[in-house]
Amino acid sequence: MRAILTRRLAATSIAALLTITTGCGSSGAPFSDGVVRLKFWGDWSGEGEQQFRTMTAAFNKTHPKIQVEYVVQEDMLTKFLTASTSGQAPDVMFWDRWRTAGYAPKGVLHPIDDRLKKDGIERERFYGEAMRELTHGGKLYGLPLTVDARALFYNKAHLKAAGIEPPRTWAELERAAVKLTEREGGKLVRAGLSMDDVGLFSMYLRQAGGQMVSDDCARTTFNGPPGLQVLGLWDRMIKAGVYQSGFEKGLGEGTDAFATGKVSMILTGPWNITTYKKYGKDLDFGIVPPPSGPQGGQASLMGGFGLVIPQAGKHKEEAWEFVKWWTAEKENAVLWAKTSLNIPGNVQAARDPFFAGDPFWKPILDTLEYAKIRPACAGYAPMEEESLIPGLQLLMEGKAGAQDALTQAQQQGDRVLTENNS
């Protein structure tokens, strides 16, 4: 998800050079002392890098014969594919789960079904949708590290002044968005609802009872009555002046419209909770699950990361020890959660009072009960990026009606989906 990308801080050129150097050679080769040294690749640097090092240090302390080193990698996927054919593959990788459908068919990921069964680790320990996202062709290729879901964040002061409650349905959302919007001299100065991320169309579509692609991934299915209901809602709010394309970008680089009070409501994820808390008295906000659709359908998008073992890794047994220690053992998953402020993919760890007892995190946990992943099709991400989002942007900019936007997105989307699924 786009908001998550803000956490992936780019490494400096010096760090990148060091990464290339340390990533080469005998990755994971045992030394004369009998210790196996594993390379753990990821693309989080800065604060995220320190969080990973906290976990590797905890593992290394209790596993003297397996020592893990975290290595920041810029352009990680390109380097991974090269390393997989050159004998320089890492032993473990930090993995955006949606990539699985595109990379598992390449034979570069190691299936772990037999390892899971041998160690008696029940799949039910983890969020089912997250496990499904790590599965391709009936084989499991990793374990969930984090989970997240979109929910509705709202400015308490704005809603109180307008005399309205947090919306629970589309109808309430539309009325609230219109009432919360402020204009001065015809200029939008406060948007009732952020509509900047048209990629949320798939979530709205599920709320309306639709789905994005056919079960066999062969064609798009969003151009129908549910899709028109979504764009009808969007079109009415735009025409009512709730939002205008480019509003948030026009506030200045790095400006968060919700944090600064320029947006009253936003559908976003738990990665923003800590950020918004930092504003203290300047931002009193609450969170509720996403509003339900016209027939009462509840839906949200689940995202998150996992840990995978490359097929070309030299020490799969030791790598598996590290993966299961971090994700399958509740106490370690809780340590990770408290260290990183990410909801862990381990269900029991996610139910720890640290999250379940917190008024900000609890609505996210509630939403995770029904949140769904994006379709696990190799061609889905290219279809959404190259066809759907540009088509929807035409509607947002007033350059196309709802039906025309959907038809154009469908025609291009079917082609892109087919090309990338083959």
Q: Are residues 397 and 270 in the same domain?
A: yes
Residue 407 token pair: 């038809």
Same domain, 283 and 411: yes
* The total number of structural domains that make up the chain: 2
> Residue 33: its pLDDT value, please?
79
What average pLDDT does the segment 45-66 reach?
A: 97
The mean pLDDT value for 346-359 works out to 95
- How many alpha carbons fall within 13 Å on the CB side of residue 123? 16
Residues 216 and 119 in one domain: no
Is the same domain home to 389 and 274? yes
Q: What secondary structure does DSSP assign to 320-367, as a single string?
A: HHHHHHHHTSHHHHHHHHHHHT-EESBHHHHTSHHHHT-TTTHHHHHH
* 370: alpha, beta or left? (left if phi > 0; alpha if psi -120 to 50): alpha
Same domain, 348 and 249: no
Angle CA 134–6–23, to nearest 5: 65
pLDDT at 395: 92
Q: What is the CA 172 to chain-centroid distance, rounded?
A: 27
> What is the pLDDT, as a whole number, of residue 14?
29
Q: What are phi and psi of 184, to 5 degrees?
A: -130, 115
Over residues 182-192, mean pLDDT? 95
What's residue 18's pLDDT? 35
Query: How do strand 302-303 and strand 343-344 relate by DSSP bridges?
Result: unpaired
Residue 278 banded pLDDT, cuts 50, 70, 90: confident
Both 285 and 174 in a single domain?
A: yes
Average pLDDT over residues 359-382: 95
Whether residue 191 is predicted with pLDDT greater than 50 in this model: the reply is yes
Q: Domain range holding 208?
A: 149-301+376-421
HEC string of 12-57 equals CHHHHHHHHHHHCCCCCCCCCCCCEEEEEEECCCHHHHHHHHHHHH
pLDDT tens digits along 79-135 = 999 999 998 999 999 999 999 999 999 999 999 999 999 999 999 999 999 999 999
Mean pLDDT value across residues 290-309 = 97
Does one domain contain both 319 and 224? no
Do 89 and 163 lie in one domain? The reply is no
Dist. CA 50–CA 340, nearest whole Å: 9
If you average pLDDT over residues 345-362, what whole number do you get?
A: 95
Q: What's the mean pLDDT in 56-72?
A: 98
195, 242 Cβ separation under 8 angstroms: yes
Overall average pLDDT of the 241-266 stretch: 90
CATH number at residue 315: 3.40.190.10
Q: Are residues 348 and 407 in the same domain?
A: no
Is the pTM value of this prediction over 0.85? yes
